[in-house]
Amino acid sequence: MHILYADDETSLQTLMKTQLEKLGHSVVVCPDGETAVAALEREPFDCMIVDLDMPGIKGAEVIARARKIRPEIEAVVITGKPDLKSALTAIENHVFAFLSKPCSFKQIKSLLSEVYHRLSQSRRLAALEHRVRQAEGDSELVGDGKSMLQVRKVIEKVGPTDSTVLILGETGCGKELVARAVHQASLRADEPMVSINCGALPENLIESELFGHVKGAFTGADNARVGLFEVADGGTIFLDEIGELPMTMQAKLLRVLETGDIRRLGSNQSKRVDVRVICATHRDLEKMVGEEQFREDLMFRINTFEIHVPPLRERIDDLMPLAVHLLRRHRSDGDDDALFTSQATAELLAHKWPGNVRELANVVEHAAILCDALPIDAEHLPRHFSRRQLRSEIRDAGPMTIREMEMIAIERAIERNAGDKKAAAEELGVSVKTLYNKLNAAEEKAA
Ligand SMILES: Nc1ncnc2c1ncn2[C@@H]1O[C@H](COP(=O)(O)OP(=O)(O)OP(=O)(O)O)[C@@H](O)[C@H]1O
């Protein structure tokens, strides 16, 4: 590590420098507060060891200034006159440890290895946060059209409360992004927001995913596992596709929401958690309640506030700003107001966007790859992307059976929805089962 050692005792200065260097550290020795502050301004250090009682700027002040100049530095106080006041100042300045002179070199050595451990943990955490940010993409909510302004207003109002929020809207219209905006507008913004797609996990796994399990809770549970409610403690949990949650889990979730207590699978002890819940669905929960597929009491528990995210076709004002924003994920060249030709703009505006912003993101990515020099023109848009193009594709293909036409429409819908068969079925107005039946029949015919 690179260490700053600030102490006015000359004998200690030489001793510490030689001993710390023997351990493989590089050391800058400062005989007073002024030189210590100057060194902090000049170069980055991993750790500082500071004597409190020095001429000129005192040790406590050096640490306080270090917090501003290099907030990431770990500070260790070393003092010949330990007293309550200096101990309290040290705590206020988040000092890593407080040593009283004389202290053994063994003590310093083990303390420095703890500092090193803490530093590598925070670096690992920073790297992980960076990867998460990259995986999640940017979370800027684009769109200043009338309906998005309405959504923003609700976010502003409901964000800072601890109320449960239900976000409703079609697939791909930005529900998760709205959930993030609610979390960001809350007092929990610095705490984690964890997301889970309730439709993506089999029934037997979802309970352990949400609430965790103890070792041996079920076959294969070789280790205990922390559930997402515990991970989100102090923050927010986002339950996406809440309409897909199996009935048995709905009852368990309701109990957690009402009591604030969770119990790991296989444990008989419960634990209190402080988690804000945001849910989202593209399904009509009231209809599901009528069909006894969703618990009415759970619906009333989660819909304290509803945010309706309108489909893209109903906020066409936002389309081009969104297209520009999404293109900027892939391209940094070109001028923001000349990224699309008028022909491409007309094509984009004429489309109905059944896959909403996700579909637009895919179309823009496709165009960004095909287009060598901006602006994007109509020829760079995917061939299948508009129904008009689908019609011309069928017309130009020559004679074909109705079943073949149907297959083209199905394939294009699946492409448009980035492989999401459920969304494709919805867009085509058929059940997922029918869609699979048709795909299987076509496969059998081709075999
Ligand atoms: N208003 C917006 N501003 C910027 N990007 C957006 C906006 N709305 C959606 N997106 C982008 O569109 C994609 C889909 O958004 P998101 O995942 O939030 O939709 P969703 O409604 O949660 O989808 P699903 O119903 O499939 O869970 C993401 O890449 C997201 O970043």
pLDDT band for position 391 (cuts 50, 70, 90)? low
Instruction: Evaluate whether residue 402 is within a structural domain.
Output: yes
Whether the per-residue pLDDT at 186 is higher than 90: the answer is: yes
382 and 422, same domain (yes or no): yes
Domain that holds residue 373: 313-446
CATH of residue 370? 1.10.8.60
184 and 305, same domain (yes or no): yes
CATH of residue 116? 3.40.50.2300
Q: Are 24 and 116 in contact (CB under 8 A)?
A: no
Distance 136 CA to ligand 1 centre (A): 11
Supply the mean pLDDT for the chain: 88
245 and 166, same domain (yes or no): yes
pLDDT digit string, tens, across residues 279-290: 999 999 999 999
Count of the separate structural domains present in the chain: 3
Atom 29 of ligand 1 has which residue's CA nearest to it? 358
Instruction: Evaluate whether residue 141 is within a structural domain.
Output: no
Atom 13 of ligand 1 has which residue's CA nearest to it? 358
Bridge partners (DSSP) listed for residue 30: 6
- CB 361 near ligand 1, within 6 Å: yes
**All residues at 6 or more sequence positions from 109 whose CB lies less than 8 Å from its CB, including other chains:** 23
31 and 155, same domain (yes or no): no
Could you give the CA distance from residue 364 to residue 186 in angstroms, rounded to a whole number?
32
CATH of residue 255? 3.40.50.300
Instruction: Evaluate whether residue 21 is within a structural domain.
Output: yes
- CB 243 near ligand 1, within 6 Å: no
Instruction: Evaluate whether residue 137 is within a structural domain.
Output: no
159 and 103, same domain (yes or no): no
Distance 139 CA to ligand 1 centre (A): 9
pLDDT digit string, tens, across residues 170-182: 999 999 999 999 9
pLDDT digit string, tens, across residues 354-388: 899 999 999 999 999 999 998 999 889 987 665 55
187 and 304, same domain (yes or no): yes
Q: For residue 180, what pLDDT is reported? A: 94
Could you give the CA distance from residue 302 to residue 166 in angstroms, rounded to a whole number?
6
Q: For residue 138, what pLDDT is reported? A: 66
Q: What SS3 state is found at 168?
A: strand
Instruction: Evaluate whether residue 133 is within a structural domain.
Output: no
- Tokens standing for residue 46: 């991993």
Q: What SS3 state is found at 78?
A: strand
Domain end (from 287, 310, 333):
310
Q: For residue 384, what pLDDT is reported? A: 64
Of the listed ranges 7-11, 47-51, 309-313, the one predicted with least confidence:
7-11
Q: For residue 26, what pLDDT is reported? A: 92
Burial 24-33 (b: 16+ CB within 10 A, else e): ebebbbbbbb
Q: For residue 175, what pLDDT is reported? A: 96
Which range has highest mean pLDDT (30-44, 82-96, 287-301)? 287-301
- Write down the H helix ranges in 81-171: 84-92, 105-136, 146-158
294 and 371, same domain (yes or no): no
15 and 158, same domain (yes or no): no
Instruction: Evaluate whether residue 164 is within a structural domain.
Output: yes
Instruction: Evaluate whether residue 135 is within a structural domain.
Output: no
In DSSP notation, 308-372 reads E---GGG-GGGHHHHHHHHHTTT---S-GGGSB-HHHHHHHHH---TTHHHHHHHHHHHHHHH-S
- CB 23 near ligand 1, within 6 Å: no
Neighbours of 426 (CB within 10 A): 20
422 and 323, same domain (yes or no): yes
Note the ipTM here: 0.97
Of the listed ranges 91-100, 280-289, 295-304, the one predicted with least confidence:
91-100
Q: For residue 394, what pLDDT is reported? A: 66
Average pLDDT over residues 273-277: 95
151 and 297, same domain (yes or no): yes
Q: For residue 395, what pLDDT is reported? A: 66
Domain end (from 96, 128, 160):
128
277 and 294, same domain (yes or no): yes
Domain end (from 295, 310, 325):
310
Instruction: Evaluate whether residue 52 is within a structural domain.
Output: yes
- Put residue 347 in one of left, alpha, beta given phi > 0 → left and psi -120 to 50 → alpha: alpha
- CB 169 near ligand 1, within 6 Å: yes
244 and 168, same domain (yes or no): yes
Distance 99 CA to ligand 1 centre (A): 52
- Tokens standing for residue 380: 């760079």
pLDDT band for position 137 (cuts 50, 70, 90)? low
